[in-house]
Structure 1
Amino acid sequence: MRALWVGIIVVFSVLAGLGATGTVYSLIVGDDDLLGNAILLIGATAFAVLGRHGLRVFDRGAPAAARDFGRWLPAADPADGAHPELDARLRRSARRATGFAVGWAVVFAAGFTQLSLVDAAAEDLLHTGFHEIGEVVDVRHTRGTTYIEVSHGTRTDVLIRDSDRDYRVGDEVIVIYDPADPSRVRTADEPNEGDGRLALGIVPMLAALFGLPFSIGPAAGWRRRIRAVERTGWRRAGVTDDQLGGSQGRYLDAEFRDGTDVTLRRSWAFLNLSPSAGWKNRPVWVGGWGKTMVVGDEKGPYVLAAHAIRERVSRSRP
Protein backbone atom coordinates (compact mmCIF):
# COMPACT_ATOMS: atom_id res chain seq x y z
CA MET A 1 0.00 0.00 0.00
CA ARG A 2 2.84 2.36 0.81
CA ALA A 3 4.36 1.78 -2.63
CA LEU A 4 1.07 2.91 -4.18
CA TRP A 5 1.14 6.25 -2.35
CA VAL A 6 4.82 6.76 -3.21
CA GLY A 7 4.05 5.99 -6.86
CA ILE A 8 1.22 8.54 -6.89
CA ILE A 9 3.53 11.19 -5.43
CA VAL A 10 6.32 10.46 -7.93
CA VAL A 11 4.12 10.39 -11.03
CA PHE A 12 2.12 13.51 -10.22
CA SER A 13 5.17 15.39 -8.95
CA VAL A 14 6.81 14.84 -12.34
CA LEU A 15 3.63 15.98 -14.09
CA ALA A 16 3.43 19.02 -11.82
CA GLY A 17 7.03 19.84 -12.72
CA LEU A 18 6.13 19.66 -16.40
CA GLY A 19 3.11 21.87 -15.80
CA ALA A 20 5.14 24.40 -13.83
CA THR A 21 7.85 24.58 -16.49
CA GLY A 22 5.26 24.88 -19.25
CA THR A 23 3.33 27.56 -17.37
CA VAL A 24 6.43 29.68 -16.81
CA TYR A 25 7.39 29.27 -20.44
CA SER A 26 3.88 30.23 -21.61
CA LEU A 27 3.94 33.34 -19.42
CA ILE A 28 7.28 34.38 -20.89
CA VAL A 29 6.56 33.82 -24.58
CA GLY A 30 2.79 34.36 -24.42
CA ASP A 31 1.76 31.23 -26.35
CA ASP A 32 -1.70 29.63 -26.46
CA ASP A 33 -0.84 26.74 -24.13
CA LEU A 34 -0.98 28.75 -20.91
CA LEU A 35 -4.41 27.47 -19.85
CA GLY A 36 -3.54 23.83 -20.53
CA ASN A 37 -0.22 24.10 -18.71
CA ALA A 38 -1.88 25.80 -15.75
CA ILE A 39 -4.55 23.09 -15.55
CA LEU A 40 -1.83 20.42 -15.66
CA LEU A 41 0.11 22.18 -12.91
CA ILE A 42 -2.90 22.62 -10.61
CA GLY A 43 -4.34 19.15 -11.20
CA ALA A 44 -1.04 17.30 -10.84
CA THR A 45 -0.14 19.30 -7.73
CA ALA A 46 -3.50 18.45 -6.17
CA PHE A 47 -2.99 14.73 -6.75
CA ALA A 48 0.61 14.91 -5.49
CA VAL A 49 -0.63 16.61 -2.31
CA LEU A 50 -3.32 13.94 -1.98
CA GLY A 51 -0.66 11.25 -2.33
CA ARG A 52 1.49 12.96 0.27
CA HIS A 53 -1.46 13.13 2.66
CA GLY A 54 -2.21 9.45 2.13
CA LEU A 55 1.43 8.57 2.73
CA ARG A 56 1.54 10.56 5.97
CA VAL A 57 -1.63 8.88 7.20
CA PHE A 58 -0.13 5.50 6.35
CA ASP A 59 3.16 6.35 8.08
CA ARG A 60 1.36 7.57 11.19
CA GLY A 61 -0.21 4.15 11.44
CA ALA A 62 3.16 2.41 11.13
CA PRO A 63 4.38 3.22 14.68
CA ALA A 64 1.14 1.86 16.09
CA ALA A 65 1.61 -1.35 14.14
CA ALA A 66 5.24 -1.52 15.25
CA ARG A 67 4.68 -0.45 18.86
CA ASP A 68 6.17 -3.71 20.09
CA PHE A 69 9.78 -2.80 19.36
CA GLY A 70 10.78 -5.96 21.18
CA ARG A 71 10.37 -7.81 17.92
CA TRP A 72 13.56 -6.09 16.74
CA LEU A 73 15.22 -4.34 19.69
CA PRO A 74 15.70 -5.13 23.38
CA ALA A 75 14.21 -2.88 26.04
CA ALA A 76 15.80 0.54 26.36
CA ASP A 77 18.66 0.79 28.82
CA PRO A 78 19.60 4.13 30.42
CA ALA A 79 23.21 3.21 29.69
CA ASP A 80 22.49 3.44 25.97
CA GLY A 81 22.04 7.20 26.26
CA ALA A 82 21.61 9.67 23.43
CA HIS A 83 23.89 9.82 20.42
CA PRO A 84 23.56 13.20 18.72
CA GLU A 85 26.52 12.50 16.43
CA LEU A 86 24.74 9.46 14.96
CA ASP A 87 21.49 11.43 14.71
CA ALA A 88 23.37 14.13 12.80
CA ARG A 89 24.85 11.57 10.39
CA LEU A 90 21.38 10.14 9.84
CA ARG A 91 20.02 13.56 8.96
CA ARG A 92 22.98 14.22 6.64
CA SER A 93 22.29 10.97 4.79
CA ALA A 94 18.67 12.06 4.37
CA ARG A 95 19.75 15.45 3.04
CA ARG A 96 22.16 13.86 0.56
CA ALA A 97 19.49 11.51 -0.76
CA THR A 98 17.02 14.39 -1.01
CA GLY A 99 19.66 16.40 -2.86
CA PHE A 100 20.00 13.63 -5.44
CA ALA A 101 16.23 13.60 -5.96
CA VAL A 102 16.11 17.39 -6.34
CA GLY A 103 19.07 17.24 -8.71
CA TRP A 104 17.30 14.76 -10.98
CA ALA A 105 14.20 16.96 -10.91
CA VAL A 106 16.33 19.92 -12.02
CA VAL A 107 17.85 17.81 -14.82
CA PHE A 108 14.36 16.88 -16.00
CA ALA A 109 13.21 20.51 -15.91
CA ALA A 110 16.33 21.60 -17.81
CA GLY A 111 15.72 19.04 -20.55
CA PHE A 112 12.08 20.04 -20.84
CA THR A 113 13.06 23.70 -21.01
CA GLN A 114 15.57 22.97 -23.78
CA LEU A 115 12.90 21.23 -25.87
CA SER A 116 10.52 24.12 -25.27
CA LEU A 117 13.12 26.67 -26.35
CA VAL A 118 13.93 24.73 -29.52
CA ASP A 119 10.25 24.50 -30.39
CA ALA A 120 9.74 28.19 -29.62
CA ALA A 121 12.66 29.18 -31.84
CA ALA A 122 11.23 27.22 -34.76
CA GLU A 123 7.78 28.73 -34.21
CA ASP A 124 9.24 32.24 -33.98
CA LEU A 125 11.14 31.74 -37.24
CA LEU A 126 7.91 30.62 -38.93
CA HIS A 127 6.23 33.93 -38.05
CA THR A 128 9.14 36.36 -38.37
CA GLY A 129 11.47 34.83 -40.98
CA PHE A 130 11.78 35.69 -44.66
CA HIS A 131 9.58 33.49 -46.87
CA GLU A 132 10.47 32.41 -50.39
CA ILE A 133 9.71 29.56 -52.77
CA GLY A 134 12.21 26.72 -52.88
CA GLU A 135 12.60 23.42 -54.72
CA VAL A 136 13.53 19.98 -53.41
CA VAL A 137 16.67 18.87 -55.26
CA ASP A 138 17.46 15.71 -53.28
CA VAL A 139 15.87 13.34 -50.76
CA ARG A 140 18.04 10.94 -48.76
CA HIS A 141 17.64 8.58 -45.84
CA THR A 142 20.37 8.11 -43.24
CA ARG A 143 20.06 5.92 -40.13
CA GLY A 144 16.30 6.20 -39.97
CA THR A 145 16.24 9.97 -40.59
CA THR A 146 15.03 11.55 -43.83
CA TYR A 147 16.76 14.68 -45.12
CA ILE A 148 15.61 16.95 -47.90
CA GLU A 149 17.95 19.21 -49.82
CA VAL A 150 16.21 22.41 -50.82
CA SER A 151 17.40 25.06 -53.26
CA HIS A 152 16.09 28.58 -52.70
CA GLY A 153 17.43 31.88 -53.96
CA THR A 154 21.21 31.61 -54.01
CA ARG A 155 21.36 28.99 -51.23
CA THR A 156 20.92 25.26 -50.88
CA ASP A 157 20.13 23.88 -47.43
CA VAL A 158 19.67 20.40 -46.01
CA LEU A 159 16.71 20.07 -43.65
CA ILE A 160 15.39 17.25 -41.46
CA ARG A 161 11.99 15.88 -42.41
CA ASP A 162 9.75 15.61 -39.33
CA SER A 163 6.34 15.66 -41.01
CA ASP A 164 4.55 12.84 -42.84
CA ARG A 165 4.92 14.57 -46.19
CA ASP A 166 6.39 12.36 -48.91
CA TYR A 167 8.91 14.53 -50.76
CA ARG A 168 10.10 14.00 -54.30
CA VAL A 169 12.75 15.80 -56.28
CA GLY A 170 11.20 18.84 -57.94
CA ASP A 171 8.58 19.43 -55.24
CA GLU A 172 7.94 23.07 -54.43
CA VAL A 173 8.21 24.13 -50.77
CA ILE A 174 7.99 27.38 -48.86
CA VAL A 175 11.36 28.13 -47.25
CA ILE A 176 11.62 30.42 -44.23
CA TYR A 177 14.97 31.69 -43.00
CA ASP A 178 16.49 34.42 -40.88
CA PRO A 179 18.21 37.01 -43.10
CA ALA A 180 20.55 37.91 -40.23
CA ASP A 181 21.47 34.24 -39.76
CA PRO A 182 20.66 32.22 -42.90
CA SER A 183 21.67 28.99 -41.16
CA ARG A 184 18.39 29.28 -39.25
CA VAL A 185 16.14 27.82 -41.89
CA ARG A 186 12.96 25.77 -42.04
CA THR A 187 10.01 25.15 -44.32
CA ALA A 188 6.33 25.67 -43.70
CA ASP A 189 6.02 21.96 -42.81
CA GLU A 190 9.45 21.11 -41.38
CA PRO A 191 10.65 22.96 -38.24
CA ASN A 192 14.19 21.62 -38.84
CA GLU A 193 14.96 21.73 -35.14
CA GLY A 194 18.13 19.69 -35.44
CA ASP A 195 19.02 16.38 -33.81
CA GLY A 196 21.76 17.92 -31.68
CA ARG A 197 19.55 20.55 -30.09
CA LEU A 198 16.76 18.05 -29.52
CA ALA A 199 19.20 15.60 -27.95
CA LEU A 200 20.24 18.27 -25.44
CA GLY A 201 16.68 18.14 -24.16
CA ILE A 202 15.69 14.52 -24.72
CA VAL A 203 18.78 12.88 -23.19
CA PRO A 204 18.53 14.70 -19.82
CA MET A 205 14.79 14.01 -19.64
CA LEU A 206 15.27 10.29 -20.29
CA ALA A 207 18.08 10.13 -17.75
CA ALA A 208 15.93 11.94 -15.18
CA LEU A 209 12.95 9.68 -15.82
CA PHE A 210 15.22 6.78 -14.86
CA GLY A 211 17.08 8.47 -12.01
CA LEU A 212 14.26 10.38 -10.33
CA PRO A 213 12.14 7.39 -9.21
CA PHE A 214 15.24 5.57 -7.95
CA SER A 215 16.36 8.62 -5.97
CA ILE A 216 12.98 9.41 -4.43
CA GLY A 217 12.77 5.95 -2.84
CA PRO A 218 16.02 6.23 -0.85
CA ALA A 219 15.22 9.82 0.11
CA ALA A 220 11.86 8.76 1.52
CA GLY A 221 13.51 5.76 3.19
CA TRP A 222 15.99 7.92 5.06
CA ARG A 223 13.17 10.17 6.29
CA ARG A 224 11.32 7.14 7.63
CA ARG A 225 14.48 5.95 9.37
CA ILE A 226 14.89 9.31 11.07
CA ARG A 227 11.37 9.04 12.50
CA ALA A 228 11.92 5.41 13.50
CA VAL A 229 15.16 6.12 15.38
CA GLU A 230 13.59 9.15 17.06
CA ARG A 231 10.98 6.77 18.44
CA THR A 232 13.18 3.80 19.39
CA GLY A 233 16.51 5.38 20.24
CA TRP A 234 19.78 3.45 19.81
CA ARG A 235 20.81 0.07 21.24
CA ARG A 236 24.37 -1.17 21.65
CA ALA A 237 25.08 -4.30 19.61
CA GLY A 238 27.96 -6.32 18.25
CA VAL A 239 27.52 -6.69 14.49
CA THR A 240 29.04 -9.36 12.28
CA ASP A 241 28.96 -9.22 8.50
CA ASP A 242 28.36 -12.76 7.26
CA GLN A 243 27.15 -14.77 4.30
CA LEU A 244 23.76 -16.47 4.10
CA GLY A 245 23.63 -19.97 2.71
CA GLY A 246 23.46 -20.53 -1.04
CA SER A 247 22.97 -17.42 -3.16
CA GLN A 248 20.99 -15.45 -0.58
CA GLY A 249 23.74 -12.85 -0.19
CA ARG A 250 25.30 -11.13 2.80
CA TYR A 251 23.64 -10.08 6.02
CA LEU A 252 24.43 -8.30 9.28
CA ASP A 253 23.97 -10.26 12.48
CA ALA A 254 23.41 -7.83 15.38
CA GLU A 255 23.83 -9.34 18.86
CA PHE A 256 22.52 -7.27 21.77
CA ARG A 257 23.72 -7.20 25.35
CA ASP A 258 20.83 -9.34 26.58
CA GLY A 259 21.98 -12.27 24.43
CA THR A 260 19.41 -11.82 21.66
CA ASP A 261 20.16 -10.99 18.05
CA VAL A 262 18.39 -9.73 14.95
CA THR A 263 19.35 -10.45 11.35
CA LEU A 264 19.60 -7.44 9.06
CA ARG A 265 20.34 -6.85 5.42
CA ARG A 266 21.87 -3.68 4.03
CA SER A 267 19.34 -1.51 2.19
CA TRP A 268 20.42 0.21 -0.99
CA ALA A 269 20.83 3.93 -0.28
CA PHE A 270 22.91 6.82 -1.57
CA LEU A 271 26.39 7.42 -0.21
CA ASN A 272 26.42 4.45 2.17
CA LEU A 273 30.03 3.87 1.26
CA SER A 274 31.29 2.74 4.66
CA PRO A 275 31.93 -1.00 4.13
CA SER A 276 30.76 -3.51 6.68
CA ALA A 277 32.80 -6.31 5.11
CA GLY A 278 35.06 -7.93 7.66
CA TRP A 279 33.05 -6.85 10.70
CA LYS A 280 33.30 -9.42 13.49
CA ASN A 281 31.24 -8.52 16.53
CA ARG A 282 31.98 -4.86 15.84
CA PRO A 283 30.55 -2.60 18.58
CA VAL A 284 27.97 -0.36 16.92
CA TRP A 285 24.52 1.10 17.58
CA VAL A 286 21.25 -0.15 16.09
CA GLY A 287 17.93 1.71 15.92
CA GLY A 288 14.56 1.66 14.17
CA TRP A 289 12.28 -1.27 13.42
CA GLY A 290 11.35 -3.66 10.64
CA LYS A 291 12.22 -2.26 7.24
CA THR A 292 13.44 1.06 8.66
CA MET A 293 16.47 0.08 10.73
CA VAL A 294 19.83 1.82 10.95
CA VAL A 295 23.29 0.70 11.98
CA GLY A 296 25.48 3.49 13.32
CA ASP A 297 29.23 3.13 13.76
CA GLU A 298 30.82 5.86 15.86
CA LYS A 299 34.18 5.10 14.24
CA GLY A 300 32.91 5.53 10.68
CA PRO A 301 31.65 8.56 8.75
CA TYR A 302 28.30 7.08 7.75
CA VAL A 303 25.26 5.30 9.11
CA LEU A 304 24.07 2.21 7.26
CA ALA A 305 20.48 1.76 6.13
CA ALA A 306 19.23 -1.75 6.87
CA HIS A 307 16.06 -3.79 7.14
CA ALA A 308 15.30 -6.79 9.31
CA ILE A 309 15.00 -10.13 7.52
CA ARG A 310 14.35 -11.98 10.77
CA GLU A 311 12.90 -10.83 14.06
CA ARG A 312 14.96 -10.76 17.24
CA VAL A 313 15.58 -14.18 18.79
CA SER A 314 17.56 -15.52 21.72
CA ARG A 315 21.02 -16.87 20.92
CA SER A 316 20.10 -20.02 22.80
CA ARG A 317 17.36 -20.80 20.26
CA PRO A 318 18.26 -22.77 17.12
Structure 2
Amino acid sequence: MLFCCIFFQGSLPSVACTDNLSCPELKHTEPVQSGAHILELQDLLQKAGFYSGKIDGSYGPRTEEGVRHFQEQQGLDANGVVGHNTWDALALLYEQVIATKKEKEGPKGVVTIKVDLNTHQLHILDDGQVFKTYPIAIGKSKTPSPVGEYKIIHKALNWGTGFGTRWMGLNVPWGIYGIHGTNKPGSIGQAASHGCFRMFNRDVEEIYPWIPMGTRVIVTGYTPDFRGFKRPLKVKSTGQDVAILQYRLQELGFQMDYADGRYGNATELAVKLFEAYHMMQVDGEADMEMLGRLNRYFPE
Protein backbone atom coordinates (compact mmCIF):
# COMPACT_ATOMS: atom_id res chain seq x y z
CA MET A 1 0.00 0.00 0.00
CA LEU A 2 1.24 3.50 -0.82
CA PHE A 3 0.41 6.61 1.14
CA CYS A 4 1.73 10.14 1.51
CA CYS A 5 4.32 11.63 3.81
CA ILE A 6 5.32 15.25 4.22
CA PHE A 7 8.86 16.57 3.83
CA PHE A 8 10.16 20.13 4.28
CA GLN A 9 11.06 22.13 1.21
CA GLY A 10 11.61 25.78 2.06
CA SER A 11 9.00 27.28 4.37
CA LEU A 12 6.26 24.80 3.45
CA PRO A 13 6.37 21.02 3.50
CA SER A 14 6.12 19.12 0.23
CA VAL A 15 4.32 15.85 -0.38
CA ALA A 16 5.84 12.66 -1.75
CA CYS A 17 4.34 9.18 -1.92
CA THR A 18 6.51 6.49 -0.41
CA ASP A 19 6.24 3.16 1.35
CA ASN A 20 4.83 2.59 4.82
CA LEU A 21 8.23 2.51 6.53
CA SER A 22 8.95 6.14 5.53
CA CYS A 23 5.99 7.53 7.44
CA PRO A 24 6.05 6.43 11.07
CA GLU A 25 2.96 6.28 13.26
CA LEU A 26 2.89 9.43 15.38
CA LYS A 27 1.09 9.70 18.71
CA HIS A 28 1.34 11.11 22.22
CA THR A 29 3.52 8.75 24.27
CA GLU A 30 5.79 8.77 27.30
CA PRO A 31 8.54 9.60 26.64
CA VAL A 32 7.26 12.11 24.08
CA GLN A 33 7.99 11.36 20.43
CA SER A 34 10.06 13.97 18.63
CA GLY A 35 11.67 14.48 15.26
CA ALA A 36 11.44 16.04 11.81
CA HIS A 37 8.15 14.36 10.89
CA ILE A 38 6.48 16.05 13.87
CA LEU A 39 7.95 19.43 12.94
CA GLU A 40 6.43 19.01 9.50
CA LEU A 41 3.12 17.87 10.94
CA GLN A 42 2.90 20.86 13.31
CA ASP A 43 3.84 23.31 10.56
CA LEU A 44 1.15 22.02 8.22
CA LEU A 45 -1.57 21.85 10.88
CA GLN A 46 -0.74 25.38 12.01
CA LYS A 47 -0.94 26.80 8.50
CA ALA A 48 -4.33 25.13 8.07
CA GLY A 49 -5.62 26.52 11.40
CA PHE A 50 -5.79 23.28 13.40
CA TYR A 51 -2.78 23.88 15.68
CA SER A 52 -1.75 26.99 17.63
CA GLY A 53 1.12 25.69 19.78
CA LYS A 54 4.88 25.86 19.29
CA ILE A 55 6.49 24.15 16.33
CA ASP A 56 9.00 22.25 18.44
CA GLY A 57 9.00 18.77 16.92
CA SER A 58 7.53 17.15 20.05
CA TYR A 59 4.25 15.24 19.92
CA GLY A 60 2.70 16.58 23.10
CA PRO A 61 -0.94 17.09 24.15
CA ARG A 62 -1.45 20.22 22.03
CA THR A 63 -0.19 18.48 18.90
CA GLU A 64 -2.46 15.54 19.67
CA GLU A 65 -5.39 17.94 20.09
CA GLY A 66 -4.62 19.54 16.71
CA VAL A 67 -4.54 16.13 15.06
CA ARG A 68 -7.86 15.20 16.67
CA HIS A 69 -9.50 18.39 15.33
CA PHE A 70 -8.14 17.63 11.87
CA GLN A 71 -9.28 14.01 12.00
CA GLU A 72 -12.75 15.03 13.18
CA GLN A 73 -13.07 17.51 10.31
CA GLN A 74 -11.99 14.80 7.85
CA GLY A 75 -14.43 12.23 9.18
CA LEU A 76 -11.61 10.01 10.46
CA ASP A 77 -11.35 8.24 13.80
CA ALA A 78 -10.42 11.19 16.05
CA ASN A 79 -7.91 9.23 18.13
CA GLY A 80 -4.99 11.66 17.86
CA VAL A 81 -2.81 9.01 16.18
CA VAL A 82 -1.24 9.82 12.82
CA GLY A 83 -1.44 6.56 10.89
CA HIS A 84 -1.92 5.62 7.24
CA ASN A 85 -5.32 7.26 6.71
CA THR A 86 -4.33 10.46 8.49
CA TRP A 87 -1.10 10.75 6.47
CA ASP A 88 -3.14 10.44 3.27
CA ALA A 89 -5.59 13.12 4.44
CA LEU A 90 -2.66 15.36 5.38
CA ALA A 91 -1.35 15.06 1.84
CA LEU A 92 -4.63 16.49 0.56
CA LEU A 93 -4.51 19.20 3.23
CA TYR A 94 -1.04 20.13 1.98
CA GLU A 95 -2.43 20.73 -1.50
CA GLN A 96 -5.04 23.08 -0.03
CA VAL A 97 -2.39 24.95 1.95
CA ILE A 98 -0.21 25.33 -1.14
CA ALA A 99 -3.17 26.76 -3.06
CA THR A 100 -3.83 29.23 -0.25
CA LYS A 101 -0.14 30.14 -0.06
CA LYS A 102 -0.41 31.56 -3.57
CA GLU A 103 -2.91 34.08 -2.29
CA LYS A 104 -2.06 37.11 -0.17
CA GLU A 105 0.00 36.32 2.92
CA GLY A 106 -2.02 36.36 6.13
CA PRO A 107 -1.52 38.14 9.46
CA LYS A 108 1.82 37.64 11.21
CA GLY A 109 0.78 38.26 14.83
CA VAL A 110 -2.11 37.29 17.10
CA VAL A 111 -5.31 37.06 15.08
CA THR A 112 -8.63 38.33 16.43
CA ILE A 113 -11.93 38.55 14.59
CA LYS A 114 -14.13 41.58 15.19
CA VAL A 115 -17.67 41.66 13.81
CA ASP A 116 -19.53 44.98 13.61
CA LEU A 117 -23.25 44.31 13.30
CA ASN A 118 -24.03 47.96 12.59
CA THR A 119 -21.84 48.12 9.46
CA HIS A 120 -22.23 44.46 8.41
CA GLN A 121 -18.46 44.03 8.38
CA LEU A 122 -15.97 41.46 9.67
CA HIS A 123 -12.49 42.69 10.52
CA ILE A 124 -9.40 40.52 10.81
CA LEU A 125 -7.13 42.05 13.46
CA ASP A 126 -3.39 41.40 13.46
CA ASP A 127 -1.98 42.15 16.95
CA GLY A 128 -4.95 44.43 17.52
CA GLN A 129 -4.67 46.34 14.23
CA VAL A 130 -7.11 45.94 11.35
CA PHE A 131 -5.48 43.71 8.73
CA LYS A 132 -8.40 43.27 6.34
CA THR A 133 -12.15 43.94 6.28
CA TYR A 134 -14.91 41.91 4.62
CA PRO A 135 -18.64 42.47 4.04
CA ILE A 136 -20.95 39.96 5.73
CA ALA A 137 -24.59 39.08 6.19
CA ILE A 138 -25.88 39.03 9.77
CA GLY A 139 -28.98 37.71 11.51
CA LYS A 140 -32.48 38.91 10.73
CA SER A 141 -34.42 40.83 13.38
CA LYS A 142 -36.34 37.66 14.32
CA THR A 143 -33.12 35.61 14.49
CA PRO A 144 -30.46 38.12 15.59
CA SER A 145 -26.76 37.41 15.65
CA PRO A 146 -25.24 36.97 19.12
CA VAL A 147 -23.49 39.97 20.64
CA GLY A 148 -20.56 39.05 22.86
CA GLU A 149 -17.05 37.62 22.96
CA TYR A 150 -16.57 34.04 21.85
CA LYS A 151 -14.00 31.59 20.46
CA ILE A 152 -13.64 29.48 17.34
CA ILE A 153 -14.17 25.88 18.47
CA HIS A 154 -14.82 24.02 15.22
CA LYS A 155 -13.60 24.25 11.63
CA ALA A 156 -14.77 22.30 8.61
CA LEU A 157 -14.78 22.27 4.81
CA ASN A 158 -18.17 22.03 3.08
CA TRP A 159 -19.88 21.58 6.45
CA GLY A 160 -23.42 21.32 5.14
CA THR A 161 -26.00 22.57 2.67
CA GLY A 162 -26.21 26.35 2.63
CA PHE A 163 -22.98 26.97 4.56
CA GLY A 164 -20.72 27.48 1.55
CA THR A 165 -17.21 26.09 1.33
CA ARG A 166 -15.94 26.80 4.86
CA TRP A 167 -17.39 26.75 8.40
CA MET A 168 -15.92 28.14 11.65
CA GLY A 169 -18.13 27.47 14.67
CA LEU A 170 -18.37 29.68 17.78
CA ASN A 171 -18.82 28.62 21.41
CA VAL A 172 -22.08 30.56 21.85
CA PRO A 173 -23.80 28.78 24.77
CA TRP A 174 -27.42 29.07 23.60
CA GLY A 175 -27.24 27.93 19.98
CA ILE A 176 -25.17 26.94 16.95
CA TYR A 177 -23.60 30.00 15.35
CA GLY A 178 -20.63 30.34 13.06
CA ILE A 179 -18.77 32.20 10.34
CA HIS A 180 -19.32 30.51 6.99
CA GLY A 181 -19.64 30.83 3.24
CA THR A 182 -22.95 30.94 1.42
CA ASN A 183 -24.80 29.78 -1.64
CA LYS A 184 -26.75 33.06 -1.51
CA PRO A 185 -24.11 35.71 -2.28
CA GLY A 186 -26.82 38.32 -2.83
CA SER A 187 -27.51 38.29 0.91
CA ILE A 188 -24.07 39.68 1.80
CA GLY A 189 -24.40 43.13 3.34
CA GLN A 190 -27.93 42.40 4.56
CA ALA A 191 -29.61 41.22 7.76
CA ALA A 192 -30.59 37.92 6.18
CA SER A 193 -29.30 34.93 8.16
CA HIS A 194 -30.59 32.87 11.07
CA GLY A 195 -27.91 34.46 13.26
CA CYS A 196 -24.68 33.26 11.64
CA PHE A 197 -22.19 35.47 9.82
CA ARG A 198 -22.20 34.78 6.09
CA MET A 199 -19.26 35.64 3.87
CA PHE A 200 -18.57 35.32 0.16
CA ASN A 201 -17.00 31.89 -0.37
CA ARG A 202 -13.83 33.46 -1.75
CA ASP A 203 -13.51 35.59 1.41
CA VAL A 204 -14.09 32.80 3.93
CA GLU A 205 -11.67 30.60 1.99
CA GLU A 206 -9.03 33.34 2.26
CA ILE A 207 -9.32 33.79 6.04
CA TYR A 208 -9.87 30.11 6.90
CA PRO A 209 -6.15 29.17 7.15
CA TRP A 210 -5.42 32.32 9.18
CA ILE A 211 -7.80 31.36 11.98
CA PRO A 212 -6.50 28.82 14.52
CA MET A 213 -8.77 27.00 16.93
CA GLY A 214 -9.45 29.20 19.94
CA THR A 215 -9.31 32.48 17.99
CA ARG A 216 -11.19 35.22 19.85
CA VAL A 217 -14.29 36.59 18.11
CA ILE A 218 -15.70 39.92 19.34
CA VAL A 219 -19.20 40.76 18.15
CA THR A 220 -20.39 44.33 18.74
CA GLY A 221 -23.31 46.40 17.58
CA TYR A 222 -26.85 46.84 18.78
CA THR A 223 -27.38 46.13 22.48
CA PRO A 224 -30.90 45.42 23.78
CA ASP A 225 -32.17 47.76 26.46
CA PHE A 226 -32.43 46.21 29.93
CA ARG A 227 -36.07 47.31 30.19
CA GLY A 228 -36.85 44.50 27.77
CA PHE A 229 -35.26 41.83 29.97
CA LYS A 230 -37.85 39.72 31.75
CA ARG A 231 -35.87 37.47 34.08
CA PRO A 232 -33.33 37.75 36.90
CA LEU A 233 -29.87 36.38 36.13
CA LYS A 234 -27.55 34.35 38.32
CA VAL A 235 -24.72 31.82 38.24
CA LYS A 236 -25.28 29.19 35.51
CA SER A 237 -27.59 31.49 33.52
CA THR A 238 -26.74 31.68 29.82
CA GLY A 239 -28.10 33.79 27.02
CA GLN A 240 -27.85 37.03 25.09
CA ASP A 241 -29.15 38.91 28.13
CA VAL A 242 -26.17 37.63 30.15
CA ALA A 243 -23.76 38.86 27.47
CA ILE A 244 -25.37 42.30 27.49
CA LEU A 245 -25.18 42.40 31.30
CA GLN A 246 -21.47 41.57 31.04
CA TYR A 247 -20.89 44.27 28.41
CA ARG A 248 -22.62 46.89 30.56
CA LEU A 249 -20.59 45.91 33.61
CA GLN A 250 -17.44 46.10 31.48
CA GLU A 251 -18.30 49.61 30.35
CA LEU A 252 -18.66 50.67 33.99
CA GLY A 253 -15.39 48.97 34.99
CA PHE A 254 -16.83 46.09 37.03
CA GLN A 255 -16.65 43.10 34.67
CA MET A 256 -13.08 41.98 33.91
CA ASP A 257 -13.79 38.78 31.98
CA TYR A 258 -15.18 38.13 28.49
CA ALA A 259 -18.81 38.94 27.69
CA ASP A 260 -19.43 35.36 26.62
CA GLY A 261 -23.05 34.94 27.71
CA ARG A 262 -22.14 32.61 30.58
CA TYR A 263 -22.90 33.79 34.12
CA GLY A 264 -19.86 32.41 35.97
CA ASN A 265 -17.82 33.36 39.00
CA ALA A 266 -16.29 36.46 37.37
CA THR A 267 -19.72 37.85 36.50
CA GLU A 268 -21.03 37.05 39.98
CA LEU A 269 -18.10 39.00 41.47
CA ALA A 270 -18.76 41.94 39.13
CA VAL A 271 -22.42 42.02 40.17
CA LYS A 272 -21.41 41.91 43.85
CA LEU A 273 -19.07 44.86 43.32
CA PHE A 274 -21.85 46.79 41.58
CA GLU A 275 -24.27 45.97 44.39
CA ALA A 276 -21.79 47.00 47.08
CA TYR A 277 -21.02 50.27 45.27
CA HIS A 278 -24.73 51.09 45.20
CA MET A 279 -25.34 49.88 48.79
CA MET A 280 -27.69 47.14 47.64
CA GLN A 281 -27.96 43.63 49.05
CA VAL A 282 -24.74 41.91 48.01
CA ASP A 283 -25.75 38.47 46.77
CA GLY A 284 -24.19 38.34 43.29
CA GLU A 285 -27.56 37.89 41.58
CA ALA A 286 -28.72 40.30 38.89
CA ASP A 287 -32.34 40.61 39.97
CA MET A 288 -34.73 43.06 38.36
CA GLU A 289 -33.91 45.76 40.92
CA MET A 290 -30.21 45.48 40.14
CA LEU A 291 -30.85 45.46 36.36
CA GLY A 292 -33.06 48.53 36.73
CA ARG A 293 -30.33 50.37 38.65
CA LEU A 294 -27.77 49.37 36.01
CA ASN A 295 -30.09 50.51 33.23
CA ARG A 296 -30.04 54.08 34.55
CA TYR A 297 -26.47 54.39 33.29
CA PHE A 298 -27.60 53.64 29.74
CA PRO A 299 -30.62 55.82 28.87
CA GLU A 300 -32.25 55.52 25.47
Q: Relative contact order (alpha carbons < 8 A, sep ≥ 6): 1 or 2 greater?
A: 1
- Assess same fold via TM > 0.5: no
TM-score range for the pair, normalised by the shorter chain length: under 0.3
TM-score by length of 2: 0.21
More strand by share: 1
More helix by share: 1
